Structure formats: structure tokens, C-alpha cells
Amino acid sequence: MLTAWVPVLLCCAGLLITFTAGLWNIGIEGQIIMGAIFATGVMRAAQNSLPPVPMLILALLAAVVGGGLWALSTGVLKLYGQVNEIFGGLGLNFIAGSLTVYLVLGPWKRPGIGSTSGTQPFSPSLWLPPAIQGVNVSLVELLLGLAAIILVYIALRGTYFGLRLKAIGKNLRSAFLLGVPTDRYMLAAFVLCGALAGMAGWTLVAGTSSRHQLFPLISGGYGFLAILVVLLANLNALWSIPISLFFAAISMGSLQLALQAQLDSSLGGVIQGMLVLAVLIVGGLRARLVARRR
Amino acid sequence: MTLTEHMALAEHRRGFFVNWPGAAISAAKSIEQYRIKGRPTSWIEELSGGNQQRTLLALLPPQLKLLLMEHPTHGLDVESTEYIWRLLLERTKPGTAIIFLSSDLEELLDCSDRILVFFGGQVSAPLDARRVNVEQLGELIGGKGFTEGGAHESRA
Amino acid sequence: MSRKFWGVIALLIVLSMVVGACAPAAAPTAVPTKAPAAPATKVEPTKPAAGGEFTFGVILVGPYNDHGWSEAHYAAGKYAEAKIPGAKMIYVDNLNPGAKPGVTVPQVVDDLISKGARLILTTSDDFKDGTLEAAQKYPAVPIINVSGDQAWKDGKDFKAPKNESNFMGRMEYGKMIAGCAAALTTQTGKIGYLGPLINDETRRLSASAFLGAKYCWTNVLKKDAQDLKFKVTWIGFWFNIPGQTLDPTKVADDFYNSGYDVVISGIDTTEALVEAGKLAKAGKQVWAVQYDYKEGCKEAPEVCLGVPYFNWGPAYVKAIKMIQDGKWAQYWDWNGPDWKDIDNPDTSAVGFVKGPALSPDNAAKVDQFIKGLGDGSIVLFKGPLNFQDGSVYLKDGEVATDLQIWYMPQLLEGMEGPSKS
């Protein structure tokens, strides 16, 4: 259950930033994937030349760069190419996904094997050790996830950066008139979100209970899940901590569901789908209530 | 966003963290000075049009050379209109020039020093607001005095 | 006020969903997949089953009812339950990144062991790495990776700890029979092979199908080997994962639309057969050979030439008995068919069910072919055989060893399609 939590938490932290700026960063899945690709690239390139700790740190930095650059592309497409970030993001997700398939089947394939199943797993020295024996998440991952969300919480509430992003999200034109350099701030929002998504990608290749390899679909829908969490939390950073934990539990819990009750494990997906609907319905009701109050 | 948030945004010069207590105090000050009917924690979208306009004025930087406005009192009640103009004219004392656009003739005559009339792609010569009356202005707006394809002949 | 309101509502939904999520677990009524005999109350977690009960865990890569590879394993689990009193299967299916992102083999093994499993079977080549990780984590729990070679002392990748074993069926024979049936039936002389991913196993199985086809084409039909086309298209995984693999439905379609009138399936699922059925209804003369599961022909019997299948049941029973008798020792089994009766459910690891679309005449020829394989008069992995690139695989008269067959580095001369990705 904790396995899925950290990547979702990191994505939530990133999405809080873009949502605050009024941006729909649907491209977050691709940003996770690019983070994972960059991290894998570094770990493959330096496999024998660096000790584990600097290697993992370097991979984390690479993942941040990878996710950040991918998000920056979405932003540049939006601001200078007039491509809505939703469509740009979807396109970039697709490209990132295809890139993993290409890498896994091509340059990074396992010797003699042509399977999309994944790259050669990393040596166990590059697996983050579990926080406590028997727990399938490492201290590093947990701290990273919680620190990210708390820092974002502070940044959005307490800093001029957060205030300006909020102004952009509420009213782009007014924010501009009040002297906010809107283009630069929107790009910054994308890059920060991408960087956090890249970190999530890093946890998916280096994490305690990851598969320790790059494989297609590595993003696992965590980015989309995080979008749901953040919307459900009404853009509240602190609320998104328990809500993301709950969602991670559902996505992992469907395993238990199958074991306990021999129910089809795709039921987990059904429950998630129902939640999405519930969010939409409550969102609609809320809008009506607000309208009536006016 | 709330009035305090707007004040913080407008007043920001440098620094990283927002000084929320300070912003709340200056919001309260502006509310009093501009007689805004609201509290520092009020949402701007919950205020009436007049109060939103007053807030806008409060958000303007204090020392300006030139202030451009379009229909500054459009849709406001009489009291708000008067009050906003008092504040605006106040601003001209330290030397701020105001150029505004309006279709309210009384407002034009009462508040400005010089008036320009636009008609059919042409511009009139500057009129001294104290020496024009509503009728003359109305005629100009109707196109009287503008020659076909030529410039307006000044009567002044 | 609206923010608080919104937060409270969100919390309420979350809570209601928690309740919703728990409810089915508490009252598992109307569960179609469960054997009626199994009681609603489950084995107590963490406590190993007492008395004669023996719980074993099975991890499936696809859905338990895929009419292919995974269902064959599910059926084997049921077989073991029936054969060994007190044996009980718990399973997790669909363990692949498309269906269960983020869930890994070691995690599932954790869960199965906490539910009392005393033997774990991981039933995919894709679980190789995960099985090794889990076996190292639980040195006291016997774990079997089906189709793997890490417990093969003479193999090239021997690195499994003592508690990990492997078994596999000699599907080479099944594929040879499949190839023969295809060659006897094809009108165009073009046979397509719907391949999964490329590795040693899939290379040797497609090569086996090719050898069977070539034998029956030249020795039974007395046709020229040059006129037989045999093409392999790999989709990239054991079954379709949208976005990750080629779409097997489309690959099968492409085969049928470019003159390949028989497609032999090498993947876990039934797309080739289903597509053949659709095209046959539209008036096209096409056939397919299914794979993996005994009842695989059911999807479209009218175009099914047959199905080479795995009968894993006896291997499951053997593993459980070893543990029950306290005689567990690492092993690597490559179980062949029982040539006396390749369809004997208690003795034969691989079989072939002839499909309704195979003509009686050809069925008789296939039976002859099977007889020849069984009595040793037909040996197909025998030189002279060349690899696809023209280099020598087996010299004239040389018979391949298990190592040479298992680790097939390339496709054979005469086969079209990539040997590597």
C-alpha cells in the first residue's frame, strides 16, 4: 500500500503547483516516464563507475531534469505554440511511452531477448533499503514524498511565488496587470511539477518495491491518480496526504480484494471509477449551491 | 482572492515570504481610506461593482505619471461615482495625468480639463472643458463640424 | 465556508468508499469463480494452515480465464486440489504492468505467504527476476518459476537459491504437431506464426513449429520445401497490452490478408483464432492453431486445426507432494509428453487436441506424425540444420542436446522474421 503512495504524493505536490496556476498538467504521466528514463540512463551509463549513494543521487537529479524538461516542453508549446496544455501533454505522454518501448526493445534491451517486459534489473546495491524490515518502502522515499508536499504547502500559502501563481490561476489578465510576469511563472509551474513527477519516476526505478528496471507503462497511472487526488482535496496540500494514501491503498488493495474474496481484482478500478464520478457529481452540486447563494 | 491577498500582490517589491499580518494591516488601511465595504478577508468577487472599483484604485501604485482609464465609473451608483472621482482627482495633485474615455457627457465636462472628440476616424482639436457645454459636445459627437475627409476646424 | 464544506464532503465520500471497498470483502456472496465447496471463511492470515491442509499460491501473468496460458495454470491448480486432499489454491492473476501497475512479484509473494501459502508458483517468464528476489527474501519457502532456467545446474543462468526450482513442458513436440497440422492444411503454402516476445523459449518453439511444418510439407505431402513460407511476427509481450505491444488482432489480420491462410498462435491469448473465425464467417478460407490451454479451440472451433497444450497438473502435484513428504530439493524439470497417450491428464505434460477444422484425412496423417515422434523414427532437431544467418546449427546427422534446444540463439534457415529485436 505504501508502494504507490510516494509516487502519487510526489505527483500531487507537483500538480498542486500547476493547478494553482490554473494549468491542467495532463502531461504528468509523460513527465514521470521521462524521470524514470533519465534515471535509468544515468544508472546504466555509470553502473560500474560510481558507488551506490552518489549514483542514486545523480540518478535523482537526472530524473528531476528529465521530468522538468518534459514539462517545460508542454509549457513552451502552450505559451509559444498556442497548443493547449491538455493536448500538448497528451501528445508528450504518448511520445514518452513510445520512447520507453523503443528503449526497452532497442538500445537498452536485455541480451538476446526481445521483450517489452523491461530492461535488465539494476544490481541490488541500487535498491533503496526498506525503512524497517518487512516494510516495502524506504525512508528516503517517504521523506522525499512528505517533504515535497509540505514544501509545496508552505510555498503556496506563504510565499510571493505561491501568491502570484494563485493570481495567475484565478485571473491571468488581472495578474498580468498587477505586474506578475505570467509567462515566466507558468513555465516555472510546469518545470517544478515536472521535476516532482521526475522524482516519482526515480522512485519507480530505484524504490524499495519497484521492479528495479525500466519498462513501458512504468508511470502506472500514478499521475492521473494524483490529478484525481488533488481535485478531490480541492487543491489543499494537507488534505491530499491522507487522500492519496487512501487511493494508493485502493490501487494496492485490489490485490487483497482478489485474495480475500476471490473477487476480480479489476474491481479496484471500478471503485476508483466510482470515486471519479462522485467527485464530478459533488463538484456539480457545489457549483449549483454557490450559484444559488449568489 | 481576498482583499489582503490583492494588497500583498500589489505592494510586493522584494522578498520571498509574504508578510501576511502586514498585508492585512495595509488592506485594512486601504479599506478605510477608500471606503470599501468589505473586510480584509472578503473575496473580491463577493464585493459590489463600486467596491471592486474602489479596490482597484487602492491597488494602483501611489506615484504615477499617467493613468489611462476606460469608462471608469461605468455601471456604478451615483455615490460611488462621486467618491471615485474625488479619489482620482486627488491623485492629480502630485502630478499624475489622467486620460479617460467615457460616453457620459456630464462626467466628461465635470471631471476633465480638456476633451477630445472622436468621430468617423477623425479627432477634434482639444476643447477646454470649462468653455464647452453639453449641447456643443453633443453636436460634435453627432459629427457636426467635422468636414468630409478633412480635419475639424477649431472654434476656440 | 465553501472550502470547509467542500472538504467535509470530500471526506465523506472517501469514508463511504472505504466502507464500500470493505463490504465485498466481508461478504463474498455470488462469486462465480469460486468452487462451491470452498467456505466463505478463508484461511486465517499469517497462521499456516493446520492439519492436512496445504495452501499453495499461484501467480498468473494474465487473467485466470484467458483460455490460454494462464487458464492452463489455473486448471492445474484445480487439478491439484482435486488430487491432493486438503490442498487449496490461492491465486493472484493479471500481474502485469498493464493491469496491476506498481505491483511486483515479491509483493504478491508477501501477500500469498501471509495468507498461509507454503509453496509459490510464479507462472511466467516475466516473473523470472521477481521470483529470484522473492526466493532470496524467503529462503524457507519453496518457490517455483515455471518456464525458467535459473535452477538448472547445467544451464547458462544457474543462480537460484536452494528453495527455487523450475519446471517446463516440452512444448517443442506440441509445436511440431501444430506445424504439421498447419502445413497439411494450408492452401497457399504460407504459414504465419503469431509470436509473443523474443527469447530462447519463443525462438525454440517457433523453430519447432517450423520444423514440424517443413517435415509434413516435404515428407508427407511430398512438396518442395522452397514453396513453404513460414513467417514469424513478434508482438512484444505474451499478450496484448495496448500501447506497449503490437495489437495481435491486427497482426493476425495482416497475416490473413496477405495470403497466409494458417496462423499458428504463440501468444497466451486467442486473437489469431478469433480473427480466423470472423474472416471465415465472411467467406475467407483461413485456419488457426491455438496454444496453451486444452479447451482453447472453443472460441472458434470451425476454423481451429487444433491446440498444443500444457498439462501442468502432474507437475503441480509433484511439487506439493515433495513438500508434504518433506523431500523438497531444488530441481529443474523439462517434462515431455507421455507417448503412450499424449492426452493423458495424469501423466503427459504436453498434449495436442485436434480441432474440428482438421480434415479426417489430415487428422490421420497428424496421428502418424505423432506416432513417429513417439517411437523415435522422426527426429526433427537433427542436422543438417542451419540458422537464419546461414551459420551451422547442427551438422549432418547431429542431434541437438537439451542445451542446444533450450538456448536457441536464432531462428532457423527458411523462417522469415527477426531473431532478435
Instruction: Give the pLDDT confidence of C320-342 residue by residue, as tens digits.
Output: 999 999 999 999 999 999 999 99
Asked if A82 has any chain B CB less than 8 Å from its own CB, the reply is no
Check: CATH 3.40.50.300 for B3-101?
yes
User: Is A261 within 8 Å of chain C by CB?
Assistant: yes
Q: Which are the contacts of A96, defined by CB distance < 8 A and separation ≥ 6?
A: A29, A30, A31, A33, A34, A37, A70
CB atoms within 10 A of CB C339: 14
Amino acid at C328: W
Closest CA to A222 of C22, C109, C97: C97
Q: Neighbouring chains of A at 3+ CB pairs within 8 Å?
A: B, C
Q: What's the mean pLDDT in C206-225?
A: 96
Q: Do A109 and C421 touch (CB under 8 A)?
A: yes
Any chain C CB within 8 A of the CB of A48? no
* Rounded distance between C-alpha atoms, residue A40 and residue A59, angstroms: 7
Residue pair A248/A226 in contact by the 8 Å Cβ criterion:
no
What percentage of chain C carries pLDDT values higher than 90? Answer: 78
Work out the average pLDDT over B57-70.
Answer: 86
Q: Does A167 touch chain B (CB under 8 A)?
A: yes
Given a contact cutoff of 8 angstroms between Cβ atoms, the answer to whether C10 and C18 are in contact is: no
Q: Looking at the predicted structure, is the pLDDT value of residue C32 above 80?
A: no
Contact state of B1 with A180 under an 8 Å Cβ cutoff: no
| C263 and C250 Cβ atoms separated by less than 8 Å | no
CB C172 within 8 A of CB C379: no
Give Cβ neighbours of residue B25 (< 8 Å, ≥ 6 apart): none
- What kind of architecture, by CATH, is found in domain C54-169? 3-Layer(aba) Sandwich (3.40)
Residue C244 and residue A253: Cβ atoms within 8 Å?
no
Confidence of residue B154 (pLDDT cuts 50, 70, 90): very low
Q: Is A178–B59 a contact, with Cβ atoms under 8 angstroms apart? A: yes
Q: Is A192 on the interface with C (CB under 8 A)?
A: no
Q: Would strands C392-394 and C385-386 be described as parallel, antiparallel, or unpaired?
A: antiparallel
For all residues of chain B together, what is the average pLDDT?
A: 84
Per-residue pLDDT of chain A (294 residues; tens, 9 = 90+): 577 899 999 999 999 999 999 999 999 999 999 999 999 999 999 888 889 999 999 999 999 999 999 999 999 999 999 999 999 999 999 999 999 999 998 899 888 788 888 899 998 889 998 888 777 889 999 999 999 999 999 999 999 999 999 999 999 998 998 889 999 999 999 999 999 999 999 999 999 888 899 998 898 889 998 998 998 888 999 999 998 998 888 776 666 656 655 666 666 667 777 776 777 787 778 778 877 765
Runs of H (alpha helix) within A82-170: 85-105, 139-158, 160-170
Query: How many A-B residue pairs are in contact by the CB < 8 A criterion?
Result: 34
Residues of C in contact with A93 (CB under 8 A): none
Name the nearest CA neighbour of C345 among C78, C93, C148: C78
In the CATH scheme, what architecture does the domain C171-309+354-416 have?
A: 3-Layer(aba) Sandwich (3.40)
Helix (H, G, I), strand (E, B) or coil at C236: coil
What number of CA atoms fall less than 13 Å from residue A269's CA on the CB side?
9
Helix axes A160-170, A139-158, angle to 10 degrees: 70
Instruction: Say whether C28 and A252 touch across the interface (CB within 8 A).
Output: no
Domain ranges for chain B: 3-101
Rg (CA), chain B: 19
pLDDT at C33 over 70: no
Q: Is the pTM of this model over 0.90?
A: no
- Whether residue C410 lies within 8 A of chain A, CB to CB, comes out as no
How far is residue B109's CA from residue A247's CA, in Å, rounded to a whole number? 65
Beta bridge partners of B132: none
Cβ contacts of A290 on chain B, cutoff 8 Å: none
User: How confident is the prediction for chain C on average, in pLDDT?
Assistant: 88
Contact across the interface for A259 and C21, Cβ inside 8 Å = no
| CB contact (8 A) between residue B17 and residue A159 | yes
Contacts of C373 (CB under 8 A, 6+ apart): C173, C176, C177, C339, C380
**pLDDT at residue number C45:** 38
The average pLDDT across C262-277 equals 95
- Show which of residues 45-64 on chain B sit within 8 Å of chain A, judged by CB atoms: 59
Q: Which of A109, A217, A259 comes nearest C243 by C-beta? A: A217
C110: which chain A residues are within 8 Å (Cβ-Cβ)?
136
Q: What is the pLDDT of residue A262?
A: 61
Q: Do C2 and A286 touch (CB under 8 A)?
A: yes
Question: Per-residue pLDDT averaged across B32-55, rounded?
Answer: 87
Which chain A residues touch B20 with a CB distance below 8 Å?
158
Is the pLDDT higher at C10 or at C315? C315
Pairwise CA distance, residues C169 & C175, whole Å: 11
Cβ-count burial of C226 within 10 angstroms (0-12 exposed, 13-18 middle, 19+ buried)? Answer: exposed
